[in-house]
Amino acid sequence: MATAVQYIAVGRRKNAVARVYLRPGKGKIVINKREMEDYFPLEWRRRSILSPFALTETTGTFDLLVNTHGGGQTGQAEAIRLGISRALVSYNEELRKPLRAAGFLTRDSRMVERKKPGQPKARKRFQFSKR
């Protein structure tokens, strides 16, 4: 019994982590055991997730299984995009240059700044009173 080839990658953004399993197939996408349309109802998030496929002209050639947790919907969508990009590079090293030029292989390291003691938020201060 021959096992199918599978490309695995991890993407991260804010507090979201996405494990991406890329398999040759017909373009079926399952995120946390749900269809992508159910998990991400907004079109622009789905477009963001599929942009590495559109850029590399591999739309419909891979099935995608994604496990994601943490963060919010936008963080998860961008983590999935990074994971897909990394998996495509492990599939074909020649795809690295266009994905890098589009910025899909760069991990966005911006995180939420922590709240400081004695302040209501990270940078907001309580109102100053002279008297």
Residue-wise pLDDT tens digits, 7-54: 999 999 999 999 999 999 999 999 999 999 999 999 999 999 999 999
Model pLDDT for residues 68-82, shown as the tens digit of each residue: 999 999 999 999 999
How confident is the model at residue 10, as a pLDDT?
A: 96
Question: Which residues 6+ apart lie within 8 Å of 65 measured at CB?
Answer: 20, 21, 23, 30
Answer yes or no: is pLDDT of 112 > 70. Answer: yes
How confident is the model at residue 3, as a pLDDT?
A: 63
Alpha-carbon torsion, ordered 94, 85, 91, 87, to 10 deg: 150
Tokens of 59: 């739309």
Please name the helix (run of DSSP H) or strand (run of DSSP E) that holds residue 85, with its range, or none: helix 73-91
Write down the mean pLDDT value for the chain: 93
Alpha-carbon torsion, ordered 43, 94, 107, 36, to 10 deg: 30
Architecture of domain 7-101: 2-Layer Sandwich (3.30)
